[in-house]
Amino acid sequence: MDIKTVGVVGCGLMGSGIAQISAQAGMQVVVREVDDAACTKGRGMIDKFLSKAVEKGKLSAEDKAAILGRMTFTTKLADMNGCDLVVEAIIENLDIKRKLFAELDTICPAHTIFATNTSSLAVGDMAASTKRPQNFVGLHFFNPVPLMRLVEVVRTLATTDNVFADACAFGEKVGKTVVRAKDSPGFVVNLLLVPYLLDSIRALESGVATKEDIDAGMKLGCGYPMGPFELLDFVGLDTTLYIAEIMFDEFKEYRYSAPPMLRRLVAAGRNGRKSGAGFYDYNK
| CB burial string 189-201: b at 16+ within 10 A, e below | ebbebbbebbebb
Only segment of 13-21, 44-52, 163-171, 202-210 that touches ligand NAD (CB under 6 A): 13-21
Q: Which residue is nearest to ligand NAD (CB)?
A: 12
Nearer to ligand NAD, 32 or 211 (CB): 32
Report in angstroms how near the CB of residue 208 gets to ligand NAD at its nearest: 26
The answer to whether the beta carbons of residues 51 and 63 sit under 8 Å apart is no
Q: Which of residues 143-172 bind ligand NAD (CB under 6 A)?
A: 143
**x/- contact string, 196-235, with ligand NAD (CB under 6 A)?**
---------------------------------------x
By CB under 6 A, is residue 20 in contact with ligand NAD? no
Q: Which of residues 52-111 bind ligand NAD (CB under 6 A)?
A: 89-92, 100
Q: Which of residues 118-137 bind ligand NAD (CB under 6 A)?
A: 118-119
Active site (annotated) includes residue 152: yes
By CB under 6 A, is residue 278 in contact with ligand NAD? no
By CB under 6 A, is residue 240 in contact with ligand NAD? no
The answer to whether the beta carbons of residues 98 and 71 sit under 8 Å apart is no
Q: What is the DSSP letter of 278?
A: S
Q: Where in 24-158 does DSSP place strands (E)? A: 28-32, 71-74, 85-88, 113-116, 136-141, 150-155
Distances (CA, A) of 128 to 1, 14, 26, 160: 23, 24, 31, 15
By CB under 6 A, is residue 9 in contact with ligand NAD? yes
Active site (annotated) includes residue 190: yes
Q: In whole angstroms, give the CA distance from residue 245 to residue 253.
A: 11
Q: In whole angstroms, give the CA distance from residue 137 to residue 119.
A: 13
By CB under 6 A, is residue 188 in contact with ligand NAD? no
User: Which among 55, 59, 73 has a CA at the least distance from the CA of 24?
Assistant: 59
Which residues form the catalytic set?
119, 140, 152, 190
Return residues touching ligand NAD (CB under 6 A). 9-15, 32-34, 38, 89-92, 100, 117-119, 140-143, 235-236, 239
